[in-house]
Amino acid sequence: MSFFGKKKSSKQDEKSSSSPIPSDEALGHNPDRNEHLFWYTEEGYIIAQDNTCQHEYVQMTPCPSCGGKLRVIAHLNRAGQGLSELVTVCQNCRYTVNFIFDISNDVYQQWWANQLGTLYIRQYDGPPREPISPD
């Protein structure tokens, strides 16, 4: 249902699930993820290899205060620093947790290049940060 009332049926809605249009999740998922996904960099950033994995990480992480479920309330684009930050709040106790993901790595940058083609412009000029620890 939309804001203005019942959603009208469209030809697109009537297409089967075998539609060539990928789902939102498929658009945000990198099929070339590797073993360094969610490792930490020396600076303590969490390695991300696509957009979807950042939200997956939040969903897997319980609130450090009460163990409740976290919900993303803001996404801060820090691509010029090679970072992506998700601000979350616990749905139970309202404790806030920020997650800072490293997006300087070659896996993430190549995924974006594949998504955008000739429109891709690398925003972070520094060398990719290296994974140092899986936990």
- Residue 21: inside a domain, yes or no? no
Q: Kindly tell me if the per-residue pLDDT of 46 is higher than 60.
A: yes
| Cα–Cα nearest to 102, from 73, 132, 81, 75 | 81
Q: Kindly tell me if the per-residue pLDDT of 6 is higher than 70.
A: no
- Residue 15: inside a domain, yes or no? no
**Which tops the pLDDT comparison, 91 or 3?**
91
Q: What is the pLDDT of residue 26?
A: 65
- Residue 66: inside a domain, yes or no? yes
| Residues paired with residue 62 on neighbouring β-strands, in sequence order | 69
46-47: strand order across its sheet: 70-78, 83-90, 96-102, 46-47, 40-41, 131-133
Q: Are 107 and 75 in contact (CB under 8 A)?
A: no
Q: Are 54 and 48 in contact (CB under 8 A)?
A: yes
Average pLDDT, the chain: 86
**pTM for the model:** 0.79
Give CA–CA dist 87/30, Å, rounded.
Answer: 22
Give the chain's domain count: 1
Give CA–CA dist 25/129, Å, rounded.
Answer: 26
- Residue 17: inside a domain, yes or no? no
- Residue 25: inside a domain, yes or no? no
- Residue 19: inside a domain, yes or no? no
Q: In terms of residue numbers, what domain contains 92?
A: 34-133
For the segment 18-35, what is each residue's pLDDT rounded down to a tens digit?
445 455 556 688 999 999
- Residue 6: inside a domain, yes or no? no
Q: Kindly tell me if the per-residue pLDDT of 9 is higher than 50.
A: no
Q: Are 30 and 50 in contact (CB under 8 A)?
A: yes
Comparing 3-17, 43-57, 100-114, the range with the smallest average pLDDT is 3-17
Q: Kindly tell me if the per-residue pLDDT of 60 is higher than 50.
A: yes
Report which residue type is found at 14. Answer: E
Dig out the tokens for 77 from the structure.
């684009």
- Residue 5: inside a domain, yes or no? no
Dig out the tokens for 35 from the structure.
């073993």
